Chain A
Amino acid sequence: RKEVEQDPGPFNVPEGATVAFNCTYSNSASQSFFWYRQDCRKEPKLLMSVYSSGNEDGRFTAQLNRASQYISLLIRDSKLSDSATYLCVVNGGSGGSNYKLTFGKGTLLTVNP
């Protein structure tokens, strides 16, 4: 099983649509979870951290299910500017060091006018 596995995508949605990304992770000892956004040929940037109780930031909602080792990201009322690759990121990669992050391969989202 891959350490962090995401929907392969790509997702093509119209403006205003709601889109959900799913992610599973294999390291049950992981404590920190993030969604990063990466625009084409740019660096990854933190979109939001994911907390056990779930958290929301405007149109973005992140959920964590530790029992299932599952993370999700929901984008409501999608905008053209949301087009990017969304990376699921988990701390505590193989070999210890809980500050190390393991990245999923990412899911490409294209929002169409």
Chain B
Amino acid sequence: DAMVIQNPRYQVTQFGKPVTLSCSQTLNHNVMYWYQQKSSQAPKLLFHYYDKDFNNEADTPDNFQSRRPNTSFCFLDIRSPGLGDAAMYLCATSRGGGRETQYFGPGTRLLVL
């Protein structure tokens, strides 16, 4: 049973054309995260929501934004994708409160033409 679901699995967009990636979870976890991972690099945290509280990483570009309309869903919006934004985008969840595991979705691979 899928616990963290990401759609689409592959996304192709044009340079500068806004794109939205979605994530949903059936775990009822408090925390949802968005990571960017480029080839041969570690996942890089972009931001996370603890319940409704949004927490942006200091070095996340303004081009990246997120929405969490309810516990189950979280969206990553890229307002004006550049070629350098081509990457795997991973959504993860955790219960919150510290010291617990994060569970990852299968990721969305973004290609920018």
User: Interface residues, chain A, CB within 8 Å of chain B?
Assistant: 4, 31-32, 34, 41-46, 49, 87, 91, 93, 95, 97-101, 103-106
Contact = CB atoms under 8 A, between A and B. Distances in A.
A98 B95 CA distance: 12
B42 A93 contact: no
Interface in B33-49: 40-43, 45, 48
Given A42-B106, A95-B58, A104 B94 contact: no
B1 interface: no
Contacts of A99: 31, 50, 94, 96-100
> Interface residue tally of chain B, by bracket?
20 to 34
B82 to A, nearest CB: 22
Dominant SS among interface residues on chain B: loop
Contact of B43 (A34, A41, A44, A98): A44
Interface of B: 31, 40-43, 45, 48, 50, 55, 57-58, 88, 90, 94, 96-107, 109
Contacts of B96: 99
A43 B106 contact: yes
A105 B109 contact: no
Given A44-B43, A91-B99, A106-B42, A100 B48 contact: yes
Nearest to A93: B45
Which among A34, A45, A87, A106 has the greatest number of chain B C-beta atoms within 10 A? A106
Contacts of A98: 98-99
Contact of A103 (B40, B42, B88, B94): B42
Given A42-B106, A44-B90, A104 B100 contact: no
